[in-house]
Every structure is written in C-alpha cells, then in structure tokens.
Amino acid sequence: VTAAPADRPLTRRERTYAATAQEIKDVARQLVVESGGAALNLRAVARAMGMTPSALYRYFDSRDALLTALIVESYDSVGSVAEAAAAGLSPDTDPVEAFLTVAHAFRDWAVERPHEFGLLFGTPVPGFEPPEHTLGSELRIANVLLELLTAALDTGRVVLDVEPGSLDPRLHAAMQEVCGDKFTGLTPEAAALALVCWSALLGAIATEVFCHYPPQVGAAPRELFELTIRRQLRSMGFA
C-alpha cells in the first residue's frame, strides 16, 4: 500500500495521496470511536467521504488492512500520550508520582476513547490477527513504564520487595527469557513484578471502562484508580 519512500521530497501527487489515505483513516476512526472495531465498514467510510467504495482499494488492500492501520495508529496514539507524560517529568520526580503521572495519562486516554481501548486491550476483533509490525507500536507504552521502573531501580530510589530466588522455577525460567528479550537489565524477579503491575494497570482501566465495578464507583473512578495504582506500587517496594 505505502510505497517505500526514497530520500527525495514527496511529489504533489504523493502528498495528496497521503492526505487522502489519512482522511480515510480519520473517517474510519470516527466509526470505530462511535461503535467499536467490529462496526468498521468500508461503504460507510466511502459514503462519509463522498467517494465510491471501490476507490478505497487504491489506499487499502482490504477492510482488514484498514483496521490494522487504525490499530497501529491507536497504539501509537496511546504510546505518544504516555511518552509525552513521561517527557514532562523532571528526572528527580518521586518514582511513585512519576509512575502515577503516566498511569493517569493512560487512563485518561482510555476513558476518553473506550472503544479504542477495547480495540487494543479488550476482546480481540473476531477473525483478525494483528500482523507483526504492530508489535513495535504496542510496546511503546509498555516501554515507557519499563523505563520508569529501570530508572527507579538504577538510581536506588526503589528496592523491589521481592525475595531473589523466590519465584516458582518455571516462572523463573520464563522470566529469564523475557529479560533476555525485552526487559534487558532486569532480574527475573523484577520482570515478574513488572508484569504483575502491568496486569493490575490494565485491569484497573478495563474494569472501569467495561463497567465491571459497581455503578456507585462512577462517582469517583479516578480516585479508585489512583488508590489501586498507589497500593500496587507500594506492594512492589516503591517508597
């Protein structure tokens, strides 16, 4: 779909082409925002743009290709929100506050776009397998959190509350592989805690966004979220 861009500047045609491709994604995103990923529909996109459905095939090979592009964009969207939140931190911010800032940015993003959150972190869209190159995008937000943890450990401001060697052997082995792959520089115990924290974060957001708290929580969801994250960090050994 997208041609390999050479070093030369874009021609006029290439620019309008890219603009139309972006407009397609924007219109398609609107559908997803309103009704979720399963509701994405080429004919509706074409209708909203005043185009013929077949014209979309100049830009995307299929409905699934368009959906994939949207998913990548959403991962990038939440990834850059997290990166921006982290970039705004001064290096000597308290690790708990730093982590909370990014966590709140993530939650704010999700609460504002529940369908996109569902697209990325909820039930996988039926019959749809994200291709490999989405993985880099997915990991941006995870990396932000990971770097926060690594930095806090490196400076000695956080000492994880976990006994070395206390991991179940099979889990220990799995965590060692994770450390060799992505979580470089962490001990297996630290990696395990990072994943525990990750699931707690996703769980807190998903439970709220998918309405699995009692309805009364609706009066103070942000406060419950903050409590959840604070307690999670405290249990990990953050000051």
Q: Which residues ranging from 73 to 112 are in contact with a copy of itself (CB under 8 A)?
A: none
Question: Could you give phi then psi for residue 146, rounded to 5 degrees?
Answer: -65, -40
Token output for 177: 């592989």
Q: Which of a copy of itself, DNA, none lies near 90, with the C-beta cut-off 5 to 8 A by kind?
A: none
Does 62 bind DNA (CB under 7 A)? Our answer is yes
Binding mask 54-73 for a copy of itself (x = CB under 8 A): --------------------
Residue 132 region by backbone torsions, left for phi larger than 0, else alpha for psi between -120 and 50, else beta: alpha
Q: Can you list the positions of beta strands (E) in 1-112?
A: none
CA pair distance 63, 7, nearest whole angstrom: 30
Side chain identity at 113, as an amino acid letter?
R
Q: Which of DNA, a copy of itself, none lies near 32, with the C-beta cut-off 5 to 8 A by kind?
A: none
Q: Which stretch binds a copy of itself (CB under 8 A): 43-51, 59-67, 79-87, 113-121?
A: 113-121
Does 126 bind a copy of itself (CB under 8 A)? Our answer is yes
Q: Give, in degrees to the nearest 5, the angle at Cα 29 between 202 and 11.
A: 120
Q: Which stretch binds DNA (CB under 7 A): 14-22, 99-107, 155-163, 178-186?
A: 14-22
Site of interaction with DNA (CB under 7 A): 11-13, 16-17, 20, 40-44, 50-55, 57-59, 62-64
